């Protein structure tokens, strides 16, 4: 394959994967600018590894592993995890819905549910959080296993345990039950 073909293939790979990598990284660092920088650095490193012939055949898993490692480095340096929790608690991170379908009550309930979800998620181990985020980003079990350096047979077990722990933590949160009841009442009306 000549350089032009390789560049075209990499550009297509970038267009296909950039948003998924961004979502994964943003979920880890909680900051738009930091996430964009990590995505760019990860793609650049992958490109350089491919140019030198050092990239594995599983480039998608390698890309997510590169992004994960950069996110971990950033979290260690700047303790971004604390600021992400503060942004979530302050309601700066919201799920997108078209504005015309949302009432102020919906916005408030969404903020409360997100706050509860963030608290429950924070109670999971780092590996469980990363495993869920990678899988949610569209990686296969094999790719998740490669990105986290675990056995591909254990990925399903890690995900199931993490989801069970998340559900237990979420249900145990004080005040959460009323929030879900209000949301159900609002939907029925």
Q: What pLDDT was estimated at residue 80?
A: 43
Question: Please, what CATH class does the domain formed by 94-189 belong to?
Answer: mainly alpha
Q: CA-to-CA distance for 92 and 88, rounded, in angstroms?
A: 6
Specify the pLDDT at position 2.
65
**Domain extent listing, the chain:** 1-80, 94-189
Give pLDDT, residue 39: 92
Fold (CATH) for 1-80: Rna Polymerase Sigma Factor; Chain: A (1.10.1740)
Terminal alpha carbon distance of the chain: 60
Alpha carbon distance 126, 22 (integer Å): 18
- Please give the torsion angle defined by the CA atoms of residues 157, 160, 166 and 169, in that order, rounded to the nearest 10 degrees: -80
Residue 135 CA to residue 141 CA, distance in Å, equals 7
Q: Tell me: the pLDDT tens digits for 93-109?
A: 554 445 556 678 887 88
**Model pTM score:** 0.54
40-62 pLDDT tens trace: 999 999 988 888 887 766 888 88
82 falls in which pLDDT band (50, 70, 90)? low
CA angle in degrees (0–180, nearest 5) for 144-148-150: 90
Residue 95 has a pLDDT of: 45
């Amino acid at each position: 394959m000549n350089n032009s073909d390789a560049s075209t293939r990499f550009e297509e790979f970038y267009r296909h994967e950039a948003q998924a990598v961004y979502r994964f990284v943003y979920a880890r660092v909680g900051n738009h600018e930091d996430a964009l920088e990590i995505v760019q650095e990860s793609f650049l490193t992958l490109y350089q590894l491919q140019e030198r012939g050092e990239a594995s055949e599983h480039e998608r898993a390698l890309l997510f592993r590169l992004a994960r490692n950069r996110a971990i480095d950033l979290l260690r340096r700047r303790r971004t995890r604390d600021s992400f929790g503060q942004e979530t608690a302050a309601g700066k991170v919201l799920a997108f819905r078209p504005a015309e379908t949302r009432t102020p009550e919906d916005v408030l309930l969404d903020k409360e549910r997100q706050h509860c979800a963030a608290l429950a998620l924070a109670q999971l181990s780092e590996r469980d959080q990363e495993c869920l985020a990678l899988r949610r980003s569209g990686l296969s079990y094999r790719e998740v296993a490669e990105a986290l350096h675990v056995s591909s047979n254990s990925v399903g077990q890690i995900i199931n345990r993490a989801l069970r722990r998340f559900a237990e933590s979420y249900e145990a949160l004080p005040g959460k039950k009323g929030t879900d009841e209000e949301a159900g009442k609002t939907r029925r009306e």
